[in-house]
Amino acid sequence: LADGPLTGKHVLVTSGPTHEPIDPVRYIANRSSGAQGTAIAKALLALGARVTFVTGPAEVPPPQGVDLVAVQTAREMLEAVQAARDVDAGVFAAAVADWRVASASEQKIKKDSSELPVLEFAENPDILATVCASDDRPALVVGFAAETENVIAHATAKRARKGCDWILANDVSPATGIMGGSENAVTLITAQGAEDWPRMGKDEVAARLAQKIAEALG
């Protein structure tokens, strides 16, 4: 581990999408490359933190040097998050599927020309809100908000609703090109208000967030 302002601190990061099975070969998911979560884990490692990295099936490889927990579904992600002990800060960058298929089929659903399948959904647990309400809530909890309009208003409301300390909000409307791209333009929402960060690389967003976390925990 590197030596730095986060030496001795344990930070948990969730990243990537979750996959919710329909049957053994099909799933539903959110669009998420895992790029921002991975960059945040790297930036935290660089400042000396021990990082537990709970990731769904992401496109980018996980960083070297983390305590890696690979999961598929939201329920598995919640379990892995709850299993982490003595967490000083949590960064919830995963794009968790809001719903799962209520009863996934154990066998591949066969194509039947006379009848189309109908999927029934069940609500997934909100991992961020669950952690914020738990007895061993980390001292600092950071959530994300991907919005397509009224970014600050929606993210401020989300911060209150989820019970987290900070929300890193971004505008993912298609015109921004942020989704799947290498840059991000975020607003940090805290109890003190909203702070716009200039458009920058996802690794620079990560470095700046890691620095802020170090200051807050310091």
Contacts with ligand C5P in 118-137 (CB under 6 A)? 124, 126-128
Instruction: Indicate whether 33 belongs to the interface with ligand C5P (CB under 6 A).
Output: no
111 annotated as a binding-site residue: no
Q: Does 138 bind ligand C5P (CB under 6 A)?
A: no
For residue 119, the tally of other CB atoms under 10 A from its CB is: 13
d(CA 71, CA 148): 28
Flag whether 126 is marked binding.
Answer: yes
The verdict on whether 150 is a catalytic residue reads no
CB of 199 to ligand C5P, least distance (A): 21
Binding range to ligand C5P, per CB under 6 A, among 55-63, 64-72, 93-101, 174-182: 93-101
How many residues bind to ligand C5P according to rule CB under 6 A?
14
Query: For ligand C5P, which is the closer residue by CB, 14 or 184?
Result: 14
Q: Is 53 in the site for ligand C5P (CB under 6 A)?
A: no
Q: Name the site residues for ligand C5P (rule: CB under 6 A).
A: 14, 74, 92, 94, 96, 98, 124, 126-128, 143-145, 158
- Which residues are marked as active site? 30
Annotated binding site for CTP: 98, 108, 125-128, 144, 158, 162
